[in-house]
Chain A
Amino acid sequence: MKKILRRTLIVLTIAAMLITGGLFTGYYLRPAYSISLGSILLAGGIVLAVSSFGGQINKFINNLLGSHDAAVAGATKVVPIFSIGQGAYVGAAQVVGVPAEVKRTKGVAAVNATIGNVGGSALIPISTQKPGGGSSLSRVSGVGISAVIDFHIG
């Protein structure tokens, strides 16, 4: 028992020394990037990636647009895109619109259609992350797409 306690004490002391050393040398204190977008995507999929990094991606897109003198005047937000055809999340979108409606937007539904040789995807902002059952999509009016985000690992 005494031996186990002594070992535990030694390990804890060394761990404390390492953590303190890390703080002094700057090896720690990188919380935002210590867990990467790639690893979150791999572990939790698109919804978790958007939930964790959506704010940063949104800010980055707005900075990019601002640097081109093309900033949007409306409110913006990054939400996941759910493909109705595939029945899965396929990416994310930055939506834009009046603040109240953007706040209500939780996802974008992608609906594929082909007329003749022309294929396309309607991107419908919705008030749920995933479209509900039946024909209802809980569409949010007054909100459009400002950017799409394609995630890839590797």
Chain B
Amino acid sequence: MKGLRIALLIAALVGVALLATSNVWSSDETTTTTTPPQVTSRAATINNMQVGEVLVGDTVVLRIHQAAGGLTPVQRAGVVANRLTNSLAAGNTINNVQVGQLNGQAVLMMGNDLLITADSSEANLNNSTPVGLAVAWQHNLQTAFNPGAVTTTVAGSQETWPAWTNPTTKIVPIIELGTQASLGFAQITGPSERVNQVKAVLQLSAVFEKTARIFAFVPSSELTGLNRVQGVAVTALLQYTLFRL
């Protein structure tokens, strides 16, 4: 009888632990909303479908079509607006908005704060991928807050990666995409005709599972725009803080 009591106690404890974990997993968009001065949300109807919109000033930066976590699209938009406002009030800036991955899903973060999950159904409605949708939202936010600083994205050429049979090197500035901040310099290497095209290395930042910060380097033929030159990569970083080496 005593054994049964112990077993029941263990079962109850495991059950409580499972429920607690499930609450953590499902706590994606459940914070309360307040009305911030600059960031707002509203309901809108598109193609006879009620959607939620997040606005910065008069500009719509996010449009949510899908319900999730027990919330309607309009409620989700309110939650996102609230998160954005709170994160800004906590000292984050629009430059801290990053695309990331959390629990295996593409997300938009501000610093360490989750703003919204870009799920696949929402991405499908936008004819995009989850990461693509998160990138588009990031771009919209940055443009709305700081219209002059955001670069236009230009498609890179669809080439194969060439072998470095007679490579050459060059030093170019590293520029943060979005803010245009100068971050240091990079030595790039590749075939000479490709290296000659590169004017800067554009840095894109992202966060993976809140534990890994990613800094991607894109050798670009433009100083301010993203136009990848294929076949060229970074081989050294100068005046650039890298893991406090």
Residues of A within 8 A of B (CB): 3, 6-7, 10-11, 14, 17-18, 22, 25, 27, 30, 32-33, 36-38, 41, 53, 56-57, 60-61, 63-75, 81, 83, 85-86, 90-92, 94-98, 110, 112, 118-124, 141-153
Judge whether A147 and B215 touch: CB under 8 Å: yes
Pair count A-B, CB < 8 A: 207
Judge whether A67 and B131 touch: CB under 8 Å: yes
B32 at the interface (CB under 8 A from A): no
Judge whether B135 and A64 touch: CB under 8 Å: yes
Q: Among A121, A143, A150, A151, which residue has its beta carbon within 8 angstroms of that of B215?
A: A150
Q: Among A3, A14, A119, A147, which residue has its beta carbon within 8 angstroms of that of B11?
A: A14
Nearest to B220 among chain A residues (CB) is A70
Specify the main secondary structure of chain B where it touches its partner: mixed
Specify the main secondary structure of chain A where it touches its partner: mixed
B18 at the interface (CB under 8 A from A): yes
Q: Among B104, B128, B131, B231, which residue has its beta carbon within 8 angstroms of that of A73?
A: B231
Given contacts A65-B204, A121-B245, A145-B217, contact A38 B210 (CB under 8 A): yes
Chain A residues with Cβ below 8 Å from B18 are 18, 22, 27
Judge whether A152 and B3 touch: CB under 8 Å: no
Task: Give the number of residues in B that approach A within 8 Å (Cβ atoms).
Answer: 72
Judge whether B129 and A72 touch: CB under 8 Å: no
Judge whether A60 and B4 touch: CB under 8 Å: no
Q: Among A33, A73, A94, which residue has its beta carbon within 8 angstroms of that of B158?
A: A73
Q: Which 3 A-B pairs have the closest CB atoms?
A: A144-B233, A74-B161, A7-B3
B7 at the interface (CB under 8 A from A): yes
Chain A residues with Cβ below 8 Å from B231 are 73-74
Inter-chain CA distance A26–B128, complex, in Å, is: 27
Per-residue contact bits, chain B 179-216, to A (CB 8 Å; 1 contact, 0 not): 00000010111100000000000101010111111111
Q: Which of B101, B155, B212 has the most CB of A within 10 A?
A: B212
Chain A residues with Cβ below 8 Å from B25 are 30
B175 to chain A, nearest CB (A): 14
Q: Which of A27, A122, A145 has the most CB of B within 10 A?
A: A145
Residues of B within 8 A of A (CB): 3-4, 6-8, 10-11, 14-15, 18, 21-22, 25, 99, 101, 103-104, 106, 128-129, 131-132, 134-136, 153-156, 158-161, 163-164, 167, 177, 185, 187-190, 202, 204, 206, 208-218, 226, 228, 230-240, 242-243, 245
Judge whether A145 and B239 touch: CB under 8 Å: no
Chain B residues with Cβ below 8 Å from A60 are 101, 131, 206, 208, 214
